[in-house]
Amino acid sequence: MTRTLATARRVLQQLSHDRRSVVLVVALPSLLLAIFRYVYDDSPAVFDRVGPQMLGLFPFVVMFLLTSVTMVRERTSGTLERLLTTPLRKGELVAGYALALGLAAVVQALVATAVGLWLLDLDAERPGAMALLAVVDGVLGTALGLLMSAFAVTEFQAVQFMPLVVVPQILLCGLLQPRDQMPRALELVSDVLPMSYATDAFSLLAVGGTLDAELATDVAVLVGCCVAALALAGVSMRRRTA
């Protein structure tokens, strides 16, 4: 844990010196949520219905992009290669980055939730559960960003993973069309996408659902996806820069 915490502290210090990244982490999801709110200024019922899903989607997208680009930058600069020549193991390295960027995701999701509930008047009967889901979605974006960064050689390639990993989940998660109304093949694909379970959980909260067992299942699936992505990121991380 000492090496993991030291890695997390270094990443947080490095992130704190990059003011643009700090603004990106803290403010961008809230800004996007505000824009979405005023797009439907004349139809507040639409924002109350779809806004919760956006509250989970925006942190997920931002953290995926930030994490994948950050990790590729560390690799291309030689930082990762130098770290892996020390007694620091790959699992400890991944855990350190996940802890640091996961804390950033927590701050981001909590700020976005507070803005949505108190400034944008997002209707929510269970704000605590909504905040928890937003945090889990942000951490999921971090975990998938760490995993995908292992397959990118340049920062541009890391950005290219967005349409491959993120966009299909937006299209198939049930946000645009209920999943049970999709063609059967697409419905089966959506069943294995993490954002499908996030959307289902936010949809339950948006209508004031009290199906605690179903919500717990969705959260458990999302947490399991985070753990699996981090484990795969540790296994697939290369010791040498390509």
The 10s digit of each residue's pLDDT in 37-58 is 999 888 888 888 888 889 889 9
Range 108-130 average pLDDT: 85
pLDDT in the model for residue 82:
74
Range 65-82 average pLDDT: 81
Following CA atoms 101, 107, 110, 113 in sequence, which dihedral angle do they give, to the nearest 10 degrees? Answer: -80
Determine whether 210 is exposed, middle or buried from the number of CB atoms within 10 Å of its CB (0-12, 13-18, 19+): exposed
The mean pLDDT of the chain is 85
Rounded Cα distance, 82 and 41, in Å: 52
- Concatenate the DSSP letters of all residues of 126-195 into one string: -HHHHHHHHHHHHHHHHHHHHHHHTT-SSHHHHHHHIIIIIHHHHHHSSSSS-GGGS-HHHHHHHTT-HH
Determine whether 38 is exposed, middle or buried from the number of CB atoms within 10 Å of its CB (0-12, 13-18, 19+): exposed
pLDDT in the model for residue 94:
84
Rounded Cα distance, 132 and 138, in Å: 10
DSSP secondary structure letter of residue 118: I
Question: What share of the chain in percent tops pLDDT 90?
Answer: 29
Rounded Cα distance, 18 and 42, in Å: 38
Angle at 55 between CA 49 and CA 58, to 5 degrees: 130
Q: Which residue has the higher pLDDT, 240 or 219?
A: 219
Rounded Cα distance, 62 and 105, in Å: 9
